[in-house]
Amino acid sequence: MKSVVSITTKSVQDVQNYLGYYGFGGSQGYTTQQEVEGSGSGIIVGKNDDNLLIATNYHVVSGADTVSVTCIDGETYAATVNGYDEDKDLAVVSVPLSDISDDTMDQIEVATIGSSDDLKVGEQVVAIGNALGYGQSVTTGIVSALNRTISTDTGASAYIQTDAAINPGNSGGALFNMNGELVGINTAKVSSTDVEGMGYAIPISQVLELIESMMNGYQV
């Protein structure tokens, strides 16, 4: 849990306000700008001389005017998007080390990276993330399937399927094996009254090089 952070974003969006109807079924209205807040999760994946580096989903930070991260001790820090890849739905945000208190540094850790290539169906896993924006929560389940291809807003990719509960706000959070090693980045779930326990995570072994590139400012 020391390696997982909550991410909060704020953006200004145009909102259409309708006053009513006129004429032949037409609508009359006006547009206003409203501040919209979003929430997600992130994983501390590195630290250099200047910054703490946190991996998350691109859709968590896309379009955000401001990004902030809240660490396990409850302290919140301003962050900037360091790099991203929209097609892979991945991003890295950074927090200047000079902004982070010594107390927080004592309580956070860089995640230990595992191997998603070594996962087996039926193996137990733990998901940690900022479910519904309430702060860190932990759910557990098993690896339901490997290399499961699904289509999302950013295209079709192969994912780890798990029945660990993945809720809104868990996006960008961690999927750990039972050794506490990061094996996936939670990214999507099937949401339907007919479906239970179908969550998906990006396999960490497939994107490690990409994350390292984004830590150095790579953007697509």
- For residues 49 and 62, what is the distance between their CA atoms, to the nearest angstrom? 26
14 is catalytic: no
Catalytic residue, candidates 6, 116, 137, 171: 171
72 CB neighbour count, 10 Å cutoff: 18
Catalytic residue, candidates 89, 116, 137, 157: 89
73 is catalytic: no
Asked whether 199 and 165 are in contact (CB, 8 A), the reply is: yes
Catalytic residue, candidates 41, 59, 94, 144: 59
- Among residues 173, 176, 169, 167, which one has the least CA distance to residue 199? 167
171 is catalytic: yes
Q: How many helices, marked H, and strands, marked E, lie in the chain?
A: 3, 12
CA dist 104 to 153, 158, 181, Å? 35, 36, 21
**Tokens 């691109």 sit at which residue?**
58
Active site residues per annotation? 59, 89, 171
